[in-house]
Amino acid sequence: MIDSMKNAFCLKDKVAIVTGGDTGIGFGISTALAEQGANVAIFCRRQDRAEEALKKLAPLGGTYKWYKTDITDFENCKASVSAVVADFGTIDILVNNGGVAAAGGILDYPEDLTEWFRCIDVDLNGAFRLCYLVGKIMREKGKGKVINITSNSGEMCNVPSFTPYNVAKAGLNRLTKCLAHEWGPYHINVNAIAPGYTHSNLSSEAPKEVEEMLTRMIPYGRYGEPIEIGALAVYLASEASDIMTGAVLTIDGGYSLAR
């Protein structure tokens, strides 16, 4: 709890896990937390991207490590969480950012429904696995900050269809609220950030005309930047947000307001 704004957003010596923290929005969050003094453990799968992220973070002066982690594998998640505790001594902040998307009409999916199950397992179950594992550590400590990165798609339907993604993000919004209610007595804050269109590795693959078309639909007139999502994550990770829990904060330049 803060009693003034002096150092209200300081995260000095806090230990944060960021899933998918090596690129895009995840790296924006990793950077923002590190700039406020946090030590960052990045959970991801690709060594090349992880090492590049660590090189960029190094000048900020904290301790930054990466852990090869598949968030669909419970035992892998458990091993990575244990490794972070062994390396850093504790975990103060968990950012569930790792995710995938699945596009296309549901009735056109192959009968194995691979895309549906993969999206749900990564975006929703992956976050739950980490919440379960890290939540136990935070309960023992008597405090902690969990930040789930969802999407404005959790409250509306994308065009073209991204039904599995929408459903997974809606489920993560609800999980955020349920865990906030359940874990409030342990002083574990659970909140969500719901970004809209944001510059990232994924968005850069889209044709320029697609971004131009989508930008015209955003009242503020531009895509978000990963560091802007990171700025909101800093607030939710800091003592300034101690009384906020169960919130889903949309950050999309007003895109979803008329939808």
Q: What residues act catalytically?
A: 151, 165, 169
The closest alpha carbon to 147, from 206, 114, 188, belongs to 188
For residues 125-158, one letter each, b for 16 or more C-beta atoms within 10 angstroms of the residue's C-beta and e for the rest, the string is: bbbbbbbebbbebbeeeeebbbbbbbbbbbbeee
The DSSP string of 50-106 is HHHHHHHHGGG-S-EEEEE--TT-HHHHHHHHHHHHHHHS---EEEE-------S-G
Please provide residue 166's backbone torsions phi and psi, each rounded to the nearest 5 degrees.
Answer: -60, -45
Q: Is omega for the bond preceding 185 within 30 degrees of 0, making it cis?
A: no
Cα(76)–Cα(229) distance, integer angstroms: 27
Q: Which amino acid is at 180?
A: A
Q: Is the dihedral of CA 94, 15, 202, 200 positive or negative?
A: positive
> Which value, in Å, is the radius of gyration of the alpha carbons in the chain?
18
Instruction: Sort strands 93-96 and 144-149 into parallel, antiparallel or unpaired.
Output: parallel
3-state secondary structure of 116: helix
Cα(145)–Cα(192) distance, integer angstroms: 11
